[in-house]
Chain A
């Protein structure tokens, strides 16, 4: 297990801003924390991010040869710094 810092590259391929500095609200427990602090599991067909508070799955990212699938249903919202 590593952490959400390692999502910077995979998400940077998709988004123009660094989403790892965004604050996400866990849909399961309501904890608000920076995406970089998610517990990240890489021993799967994709990347699985879990809430550091309750371990609920918050982010799933699967990369195919010519597209990516991003499932964010475990996050109520993302507060993204735009400075």
Chain B
């Protein structure tokens, strides 16, 4: 098998930026062309390494947003953190034609497989929606009929990543429901508040349905949601989490 080729060790690849899409005022999708990209599963991530002219090097993990389609194109959506070291570069300075080092795809835990048959609950906070969007896209690409529910917590309507695509998919992807939770300000008439046990109870799946649950977001968000799901009777073994920063 190809996997058993001479170099089994995970190594760095070069990605060249071919396009960008601004998703929100602070989130940008990077479209990268990566030589030899082997494809990936929805939910996997890459490590991105930046090296300065003086040799200083730093790396971060970013979720893959796109679906493996047999090409060598990979999309990452990066949320800019103003006090960050890497994200301001990737979302501001990194320009079409520039190159970056990538290692991946990696991560076999926070992954949805299109052969799965159980209902899926996706709960994302902020940029935590990125790997969940890869799952939503993969579901459509695979023609899966597994019912998906996405609960997406954002500060304001302007912070919704993939807003247009989600609106279109809710209309076109049969069996996909999306619920937004706005924590700072909301469109007219919608409540403002945190994602709670009540939200999960109303818009998630009953524990009896034994759904696969994927929760991604800042640490506090992930812990709150995972605890609430357990309190609602979900099997902890069916709750997969991925957390980033903001402890």
**Chain A residues at the B interface, C-beta cutoff of 8 Å:** 1-6, 8-10, 12-14, 16, 18, 20-21, 34-37
Q: A5-B242, A9-B10, A35-B109 are in contact. List 4 more A-B contacts (CB 8 A).
A: A9-B45, A9-B106, A12-B106, A18-B108
B:33-59 near A, CB below 8 Å? 45-47, 59
A3 pairs with B243, CB closer than 8 A = yes
Q: Report how far A1 CA is from B242 CA in the complex, Å.
A: 11
Q: Is B211 close to A, CB under 8 A?
A: no
Question: Shortest distance in angstroms between B233's beta carbon and chain A's nearest beta carbon?
Answer: 20
**Chain B residues at the A interface, C-beta cutoff of 8 Å:** 8-11, 45-47, 59, 61, 103-104, 106-110, 219, 240-245, 247
B247 pairs with A36, CB closer than 8 A = no
Give which listed residue, A9, A16, A36, contacts B61 with CB less than 8 A: A9
Q: Report how far A6 CA is from B240 CA in the complex, Å.
A: 14
> Which label, helix, strand, loop or mixed, suits the secondary structure of the B interface?
strand
Closest to B237 in A: A34
B61 pairs with A2, CB closer than 8 A = yes
Q: List 28 A-B contacts (CB under 8 A).
A: A1-B247, A2-B245, A3-B241, A3-B242, A3-B243, A4-B109, A5-B45, A5-B61, A6-B45, A8-B45, A8-B106, A8-B108, A9-B10, A9-B45, A9-B46, A9-B47, A9-B59, A9-B106, A12-B106, A16-B8, A18-B106, A18-B107, A20-B108, A20-B109, A35-B109, A36-B107, A36-B240, A36-B242
Give which listed residue, A18, A20, A37, contacts B241 with CB less than 8 A: A37
Question: Shortest distance in angstroms between A66's beta carbon and chain B's nearest beta carbon?
Answer: 13
B9 pairs with A13, CB closer than 8 A = yes
Closest to B4 in A: A16
